[in-house]
Amino acid sequence: MRPSLCCASAMYLARLILGKLPVWNGNLIHYSGGYRISDMRECIELMFQYLIAPIEHDEFFKKYAMRKFMRASTLCRNWAKKFQASGRDLFDERLSTHRLTLEDDDEEEEIVVAEAEE
């Protein structure tokens, strides 16, 4: 897998976690070197599976769970588990437009938008 593909895939996943809409558009395709969602699908799924799988690298997880790193590992893992439980699609075509509200209809549990307080 090309490093630029991994980078573009990480950007897609990060934008999804942070609730940035559209998640992927023409500008991002252009500045990523031309990667479309279909090109990144396998890499994005691989990253997502890593987030929901049991923790293999405990020290790595602990390091990025520190406040100094804004608890990135905890935030991403919690988001991924909630996203998986919701049954939503990582590649929903509405994510490339503003037609999808990430908070959706279940107001008590915002599944997609990561909570900074965690």
Q: How many domains, in total, are found in the chain? A: 1
Q: Give me the amino acid identity at 66.
A: M
- Residue range 12-38, pLDDT digits in tens: 999 999 999 899 999 999 999 999 999
Instruction: Name the CA radius of gyration of the chain, rounded.
Output: 14
117 belongs to a structural domain: no
Q: Which residues contact 97 (CB under 8 A, 6 or more apart)?
A: 21, 22
Q: Label residue 107 by pLDDT band (50, 70, 90).
A: very low
Exposure of 67 by Cβ count < 10 A (0-12 exposed, 13-18 middle, 19+ buried)?
Answer: exposed
User: Does residue 34 fall inside a structural domain?
Assistant: yes
Model confidence at 46, in pLDDT bands (50, 70, 90)?
very high
Using pLDDT thresholds of 50, 70 and 90, give the confidence band for residue 93.
Answer: confident
Range of the domain at 46: 3-96
C-alpha to C-alpha distance for 91 and 38, rounded to whole angstroms: 9
pLDDT at position 98: 58
- Examine residue 25 and state whether it is found in any structural domain, yes or no: yes
Tokens of 27: 């500008």
In this prediction, residue 108 carries a pLDDT of: 36
Structure tokens at 107: 């107001």
Percent of the chain surpassing pLDDT 70: 81
- Residue 29 domain-assigned (yes or no): yes
How buried is 38 (Cβ within 10 angstroms: 0-12 exposed, 13-18 middle, 19+ buried)? exposed
pLDDT at 111: 39
pLDDT (mean) for 54-76: 93
77 within some domain: yes
On whether residue 22 sits in a domain, the answer given is yes
